[in-house]
Amino acid sequence: MSNHTTGRSRVRLAVFLGLGLLVALLLAGVVSSAASSKPDGLDATAREGCTFNADDEITGGNCLAKSAKEHDLGDSPLADYGIRGIDNSFVSTGLSGVAGVLLVAAVGGGLFWVLRRRGPAGQ
């Protein structure tokens, strides 16, 4: 295979990966803010059997959610699908999604780079 063909393949791969990252960033930054704030299936199941007040606090009954505790990282900067200190929930959620995509891309890319440089076993 010629260097010209290999170079073109690398450019195509770079464009493909770049567009994929752009789509992921757009989805995380914009579409994530449209996600429902209502409990998902697991949360809804854990809340079955309890009664709640207007502030959505458990007031009685017997359910799995009654024994729930605050998460150890609940006060971290990226807790609750947002960024602490940003009052606009749309911007906060979007930026936390973008941060998550960039973090996963960096870790995944780093692991790929390290494992690729090792070469096949036995060489």
Quick: pLDDT tens for 87-112.
998 899 899 999 999 999 999 999 98
| pLDDT at 2 exceeding the cut of 70 | no
Asked whether the whole model's pTM tops 0.85, one would answer no
**Which residue is it, tokens 């960033």?**
25
- Residue 112, both tokens: 């790929």
Would you kindly state where each structural domain of the chain is located, as residue ranges?
1-35+77-123, 37-68
Neighbouring residues of 92: CB distance < 8 A, sequence distance ≥ 6 = 82, 83, 86
Neighbouring residues of 42: CB distance < 8 A, sequence distance ≥ 6 = none
- Contact yes or no for 63/50 (Cβ under 8 A): yes
Dist CA 112 CA 123 (whole Å): 18
Question: Given pLDDT bands bounded at 50, 70 and 90, which one contains residue 119?
Answer: low
Q: H helices within the chain, ranges in order?
A: 3-29, 41-47, 89-118
